[in-house]
Chain A
Amino acid sequence: MADAKATPEAVKAEVRKLILEEFLPGTDPGELTDATPLITGGILDSLGTVKVVAALEDRYGIEIQAHEASVTHFNSVADIVSLVQAKLKTRQ
């Protein structure tokens, strides 16, 4: 479902929740910072990345391309938030 009022803080909260629930269950939320390396740190693999892609597309009604499923856009919460924001901006 698209969410036109998605602020960076709201997107960040959603992304953090997704990562903590799906990939870091039982981990202290404080350990997941905006810069925690997700792909290079072994938290997200290819399957994890496509799962996050699917969740973001569903949640924000955006479309993420194959070449964007990369370290550049998915290696940290901050990277993901930037990508989502950019996509939302383009859509508007």
Chain B
Amino acid sequence: MSAAPGATAGGRPLRARLPGLALAAVGIAGFAGGVAADRLAGHGTGFGLARAAVVLVGLVLAVAGVELASDAGAERAREWRDALVGPLTKAPARLAAVLGQLVLFALVVRLFQVESPAFYRLLVPLTVFGFVVHHFLPARQRLGFFIALSVVGVVMVLGFTNALWLLALVLAVVSLAHLPVRFWLRVALILAAAVALAVLRAHPQRAPWSIAIWPVLGSILMFRLIVYLYDLRHATGPGDVRFTLAYFLLLPNVVFPLFPVVDFATFRRTYYDQDAVATYQRGLQWILRGLVQLLIYRLIYQYGTIAPTDVVSLGALVRYLLATFGLYLRVSGDFHLVVGMLHLFGFGLPETNHLYYLASSFTDFWRRINIYWKDFMMKVVFYPVYFRLRKRGDTAALVTGTLIVFGITWMTHSYQWFWILGRWLLSWTDGLFWAALGVLLVANSLLEKRAGRRRPPGSASATFRGAALLAARTAGTFTVICLLWSMWGSPTPGDWLDLFRVPTPTPAELALVFGVLLAIGAAAVLADRRERRLGAAGRAASGTLAFGPRAAVTAAGLVVLWLAGSPWATAPLGPGAQRAMREFRFPELSRRDLATMQRGYYENLINVSAQNGELWKLYAERPTEGADIWSAGVLKDRPDFLAKEMRPLFGIYQRGLTFRTNRWGMRDQDYAQDPPPDTYRIALLGQSYVAGDGVSDGETFEALAESRLAREPGRRTHVEILNFAVGSYSLLQQLLIMDRVFSFHPDAVYLVGGPGDPGRARLHLVQQLRRGVPPPWPYLQGLLDRAGVNASMRENAALIRLRPYSDSIVDWTYAQIVAECRQRGVKPVWIYLSLPQPSPDTGVGTAMAAQARAQGFVTLDWEYVYAGHDLKTLQASPWDFHPNAEGHRLIAERFYRDLTEDPELAVPK
């Protein structure tokens, strides 16, 4: 049978299909053009926003065209028309209000640089654009568009090649769950794939893809695959592949490796299960809540956190405990943002965290904090265990189920960090934390079980007595959780116990503790009364307000945040307020994390976790092997107080950099031990950044300055600069190598110091003492005796006791170096130089230089040597703040100028 002229097999005339086909052609051309333009632009990364928009619109037009050209073209045309026109005629004001808030959200995240540039520059604008297109699509096409949007988001953030690897790996693993074989065989295959991936994660250089995709890949698969398999096992009907793809490619995941464990069944069940615009509005409400939490977190992180060694009073202890628990706001804020953003695409997921600081019992705490994790554990662990064991008695089933949940939570916590960071984070304190929480929860559950009937939510504060009891219970729970949380963040149980060795509290400090607990109790009572007003439906919907007031409140909140961060709005408050807001808007590492990181590069930092949320972001990007030149064999251990020194004639090529030492064990060219005639010899002492960690041989500021002096026309005296710097050397080690330095007959000794010197000197003293090597100087031994520090003491406790003696140690060391120099007619010079990293303190260089000058040094202050430059462009890498080649060039310029122009240095011409 042949078709009639001008008609296709389906019966519609070709003429009727032409507009659809033309539209599809335009769409395909747009899609292909967008991709090609991006490739031809040669950025080497992924889509820019404009090209992403062209690609997505092209895709939509192509799909629309194909549908219009199909046999059901007329019906599809009506659908597309209704989808386009409907939102404009049906309550357009509500949609406009949502869009307005979304734009405000984009402005606020950019203003405050929330999360990461990939988030506020790429993903949020993409979300705003995607939201508009998505809402104007027929309902049938929305899920597909969400998948496309998520894929484009991955390409934008990770680049084409990485995105292709990521998507291929995700699809490959998820496909295993759908192989036409028995379920257990599918699980076995997935486990085998997981083991193979884990091996590659531990040795990422063996994988053919970039390290950048590991945290995202891990985050996508590590828990969601378990939930997915569970639901697949118990599914009653055929699945929809679009939900599967959308579930594993959730748009915000690419910038949030720490992602809530979204439940697959809930993900499907809540998809557009309520009025669309009301769902969007609830998402915006949570986005605002997330933003507020992240900004409070930033305040706590920047200004509230202190190091354990700073806990020297009850007031400091309270601050430490509150700040440590307060840092959870980062996780909670991120989760609110993530789930809020998913609401914008119809996923009406439940709340992730709910007033967890106001929990009135341990079971209540477990119900309120990281609710998705609790639900995940209930579903795949607790219920299966409980239902299997309940025939042996409810209590046994309850206790066993709960303890297994906490045991698995402990293990999966480390498992999670393995996928994100590439290393296991198992510690005693981690285990103790989960064990203690598990035992408390079991006890609490048994009490509740014995008590029988439960109080309805929101009824606890109905009477004065009830309110007082609720306040007391909440304050008690808060205190215990604060204590446990601080243990979780401590390296060892001993370090945690040391926190509590504070002097007898003052009345003011006791009043502070009472005030904090009173405030927590009062807040709990107010929250309980609000819960009562809300009722069950209100609690499930996060409020009872109608759309209008909800939108007004959220918009007002976003406007307030935007105004608070706008420079012109803070201008009338004066330069101090402007500076403070500027610092607040551009997040940097806190003092505590900067110190941790400075220690980290020679101590192989392993205690990076959610407790120090900014650090783990950096370390997630750091290669797990070959990241640290000082652990690559250049250092050799010594049994004496010097502890380590550089090997002579050592060479390595790592991270694209050469690092060689000369026959004397200096990171420098070779020199004779005796200076040649007409030579002015400078011995340069310092730490890793002076030795040139982060640059190749010949690129250190010392080598550059020396070479420039050598090229100087008309110079009669040759200047040699011998680099004695060694990574992480403390002042005390510098003092110990003075004899070796003098054996090279220098005319001057230049000691480069930095802000970490006093702390590093104390640390070296304590670490050597603890390994049984006392200081070889009676003065320092006497100082240790006076401070009551001995070899059996834990590191933090000893450091706290030595704190008051910091200046004494530094002054004494400076005086020794100066005296030894003067004895030999050598000019002692002290230079302040820090890493190109944002410093929370200014003027440190001036103060330290004054201290060095007081002991007899000639001083140079290079605190502002990087001024006028973006510090990030001068750093070796995002996780390594050592100066790069450009940073060394800047320092060399300053060094050269001082050497040739500073009369106090008296370097001969």
Contacts and interface: CB of A to CB of B under 8 A. Distances in A.
Interface of A: 21-27, 31, 36-38, 40-43, 45-48, 50, 54, 65-67, 69-72
Contact of B539 (A24, A42, A46): A42
Nearest to B536: A41
B352 to A, nearest CB: 13
Given A65-B387, A67-B383, A71-B269, A24 B537 contact: no
A42 B536 contact: yes
Given A43-B536, A69-B383, A71-B266, A54 B394 contact: yes
10 contacts: A25-B456, A42-B540, A46-B378, A48-B454, A50-B394, A66-B387, A67-B230, A67-B234, A69-B383, A72-B269
Nearest to A25: B453
B117 interface: no
B453 A70 contact: no
Contact of A27 (B384, B386, B387, B456): B456
A25 B540 CA distance: 20
A47 B378 CA distance: 10
A87 B536 CA distance: 27
Interface in B432-457: 445, 448-449, 452-457
B367 interface: yes
B447 to A, nearest CB: 11
Interface residues of B, number: 36
Main secondary structure of the interface of A (DSSP, over half): loop
Contacts of A42: 367, 457, 531, 536, 539-540
A22 B453 contact: yes
A70 B390 CA distance: 17
Interface in B518-551: 531, 535-537, 539-540
B265 A72 contact: yes
Interface in B708-760: none
A22 B456 CA distance: 9
Interface string B378-405: 1100111011101000100010000000
B384 A37 contact: no
A20 to B, nearest CB: 10
Contacts of A41: 457, 535-537, 539-540
The 3 closest A-B pairs by CB, nearest first: A41-B536, A37-B540, A66-B387
Given A26-B456, A42-B536, A48-B454, 11 more contacts: A25-B456, A37-B540, A41-B537, A41-B539, A42-B531, A43-B457, A47-B363, A65-B234, A66-B387, A69-B387, A72-B269
Contacts of A26: 456, 459
B535 A23 contact: no
B539 to A, nearest CB: 5
B613 interface: no
A65 B233 CA distance: 13
B838 interface: no
A69 B381 CA distance: 12
B350 interface: yes
A54 B398 CA distance: 13
Highest count of chain B CB atoms <10 Å: which of A22, A36, A54, A67: A67
Nearest to A46: B378
A54 B390 CA distance: 10
Interface of B: 230, 233-234, 265-266, 269, 350, 363, 367, 378-379, 382-384, 386-388, 390, 394, 398, 445, 448-449, 452-457, 459, 531, 535-537, 539-540
Contacts of A46: 378, 382-383
B453 A50 contact: no
A34 to B, nearest CB: 12
A47 B398 contact: yes
Nearest to A42: B457
B536 A38 contact: yes
B537 A23 contact: no
Nearest to B386: A50
Nearest to B531: A42
Contacts of B540: 37, 40-42
A28 to B, nearest CB: 11
Contacts of A40: 350, 539-540
Contacts of A65: 234, 387
A52 B363 CA distance: 18
Contacts of A69: 383, 387
A50 B706 CA distance: 77
Contacts of A24: 456
A71 B233 CA distance: 17
Highest count of chain B CB atoms <10 Å: which of A27, A41, A42: A42
B454 A66 contact: no
Contacts of B452: 22
Contacts of A38: 536
A50 B449 CA distance: 11
B269 A23 contact: no
A29 to B, nearest CB: 12
B565 to A, nearest CB: 35
A10 B601 CA distance: 69
Contact of B449 (A25, A37, A47, A67): A47
A37 B454 CA distance: 17
Nearest to A31: B535
Contacts of A48: 454
A21 B642 CA distance: 74
Nearest to B350: A40
A25 B454 CA distance: 8
Contacts of B265: 70-72
